[in-house]
Amino acid sequence: MTFTYDAEKNFLDKKTLLITGASDGIGKACAKTYASYGATVILLGRNQQKLEAVFDEIEELHPGKVIIHPLDFKTASMADFKTLAESLNDQFECLDGLIHNAALLGPRTPIEFYPEADWSDLMQVNVNAVFQLTQSLLPALRKSEDARLLFISSSVGRIGRAFWGAYAVSKFALEGLMQTLAEELENTTSIRVNSLNPGGTRTNMRRDAYPAEDPQTQPTAESLMPVYLYLMSEEAKHIHGQALNARDFKAV
């Protein structure tokens, strides 16, 4: 049964949410959806042209509600993330949400033959950059009265699966980071930390992973947005330290 959420219009008004991997797929859908409910969205991605296209779509419908920040996680340094944090501190009182959506898929090949360079690049993007961005933005998240930190996971990051290589290992790492942060922040901040497995979705990454699959058999990114909206809502502030699944999500 598909989860539905009857969100009030502009319930994210005065909220500032940052989405990584926002130029395409689920990240793009998140950006457009959150802005449509009143949030100011900060879009991170490596492809400036695609980011600008998303910016134009959102700006036309919701003027002044979108900012883009091109950043390639593969080459970004801690200094780059700190510069981003300083820029956001100058523009906003706080950060109310951080959605870690960006990821590389990498080769699907046995560990025995996995290319070392691909392994390093993928871990940099999927794990190290996530750590660096989170660490840099935690002070801004702490300033929020009701902040959310959401790690986008995968089924292969919860139960290992052959030939998923560095991608699976990186998602296991994110689950560990989520659990560690959730326990550290539970009693000292208002930040609620969770992971979400969106399941198979009609995205370019899914197409690359399953080139022979008919994309029409998978749900669209837009169809998942009720879950993403709910997790940013006040009703979800009790959900913390949980490994959630979009496909069987139920509000509790």
Q: What is the mean pLDDT of the segment spanning 107-113?
A: 96
140, amino acid identity: A
Given 167, 210, 228, 230, which residue is catalytic?
Answer: 167
Identity of residue 53: A
pLDDT tens figures, 171-225? 999 999 999 999 999 999 999 999 999 976 665 665 565 566 566 666 677 889 9
Please name each of the domains of the chain with its CATH number. 16-245 (3.40.50.720)
Mean pLDDT of the chain: 92
- Please write the tens of the pLDDT for every residue from 166-176: 999 999 999 99
What pLDDT score was predicted for residue 218?
65
What's the average model confidence in pLDDT over 43-54? 96
Which is higher by pLDDT, 192 or 251? 192
Q: Is 167 a catalytic residue?
A: yes
Please provide the DSSP assignment of 182-239 as one string: HHHHTTT-S-EEEEEE--S-SSHHHHHH-TTS-GGGS--SGGGHHHHHHHTSGGGTT-
